[in-house]
Copies of this chain bind each other. A is one copy, B any other.
């Protein structure tokens, strides 16, 4: 496993670029794809949310993509799914604690993105 270097603040260390296991690459892959960030942002801002409510809020997303993205995020441990045995069916999604730890970092990334954007 490629360790993280706190000495020089490099994302990885030693034999980086990431020849075996790269924690940075794996972290980025968790939030990759077209719709995961919008989903996480929606859940972070509004808290627990139902499927169709998410679909309304995230403009342009289809059933297929919302369902598959939610399933991936759940498998990755970033969101949790709770299903209520009612009729009509109700399913609620929310962020996990792991994902809540991630949000401040993404916020810094957003700040950086806004910064480099205006300087060009």
Contacts and interface: CB of A to CB of B under 8 A. Distances in A.
Interface of A: 4-6, 8-12, 16-19, 22-28, 30-32, 37-42, 44-45, 57-59, 77, 98, 101-117, 119-120
Contact of A111 (B4, B19, B114): B4
A27 B112 CA distance: 7
Q: Which of A25, A32, A57, A106 has the most CB of B within 10 A?
A: A106
Given A25-B37, A31-B28, A112 B116 contact: no
A57 to B, nearest CB: 7
Q: How many copies does the complex hold?
A: 2
A79 B13 CA distance: 20
A33 B76 CA distance: 20
Contacts of A114: 4, 23
